Amino acid sequence: MPQFNAGLHFVRNSTANLTNAIRARDTIYKLWALTYIRAALKYVELSETSYNGKVHAEGFAWYMAIDGFVASYHASAAKAMRDALNISKSSVPSGTFCAVREQMLQALPAMGLDCKALGTFKDSTLTASCPSVCNVSATLQLPAGRSPAAAVNAGASSKIDCSAAAGTAAAAAAAAAGAESKQTSAMSAAVSFSGASMPLMAVSLAAWATVWS
């Protein structure tokens, strides 16, 4: 995807730009969030209308990838979805989908997302019965993407000696030892997305776009 390509451009030596790299990172987080929120809502609905343990487990796995990200912006929405897909459950009670959907709709603006970007599950049988209508005004602004970055020339690489910087890094680490750390939204998102490759996420985004309008 163009936005993913942009992120790679901005961390390459010849085109490095920290401000743009951070913007690209945040854009990718939003796109991942859209993918997984869509998946979570779909599987909550499917589990509510006709319970199946495999479907439930898939929904749980999809959502937990971004639980930390959602929670950093809207704790109650994250908890609602987490509770709805609690893996220890053996059923999803009637009314769960509409309730958790309402929470997620309220969380969209805080995450920089909107109704148009989220869309609607094309095969949904419950959305029309939910009392709430998504009316969040447009807030999602995607920066311009880029074409794929050129392949790395392995022959042009050179050895980098980091021994000089090692002492400085060690001193900084020692000075920071014992300091109480606070998990930030960015760190929460990074942990939530760990273990998933960028190409895989791009494929996932494309796949989910086919079942949501």
Q: How confident is the model at residue 154 (pLDDT cuts 50, 70, 90)?
A: low
Task: Please determine, for residue 180, whether its predicted confidence score (pLDDT) is greater than 50.
Answer: no
Q: How confident is the model at residue 143 (pLDDT cuts 50, 70, 90)?
A: confident
The count of other CB atoms within 10 Å of the CB of residue 163 is: 6
In angstroms, the Cα distances linking 64 to 105, 111, 158 are 18, 16, 40
pLDDT at 90: 95
pLDDT at 9: 80
Taking residues 80-103, what's their average pLDDT?
A: 96
Tell me the pLDDT tens digit for each residue of 20-38: 889 888 889 999 999 999 9
Note whether 194 and 66 are within 8 A (CB).
Answer: no
Taking residues 95-118, what's their average pLDDT?
A: 92
**Domain boundaries along the sequence of the chain:** 2-142+183-209
> pLDDT above 90 covers what percent of the chain?
41
pLDDT at 184: 35
pLDDT at 166: 56
Q: Which of 76, 87, 77 is nearest to 47 (CA)?
A: 87
Q: Which of 70, 64, 45 is nearest to 55 (CA)?
A: 45
Looking at per-residue pLDDT, the higher value among 106 and 162 belongs to: 106
Averaged pLDDT score across all residues of the chain: 78
Beta-bridge partners for 212: 121
pLDDT at 194: 32
Taking residues 173-198, what's their average pLDDT?
A: 39
Is the pTM value of this prediction over 0.85? no
Looking at per-residue pLDDT, the higher value among 193 and 146 belongs to: 146
pLDDT at 117: 87
Looking at per-residue pLDDT, the higher value among 164 and 28 belongs to: 28
57-61: long-range contacts (C-beta < 8 A, 24 or more apart)?
A: 57/87, 59/85, 60/85, 60/86, 60/87
pLDDT at 162: 64
Taking residues 142-148, what's their average pLDDT?
A: 78
In angstroms, the Cα distances linking 28 to 7, 106, 135, 145 are 8, 21, 24, 11
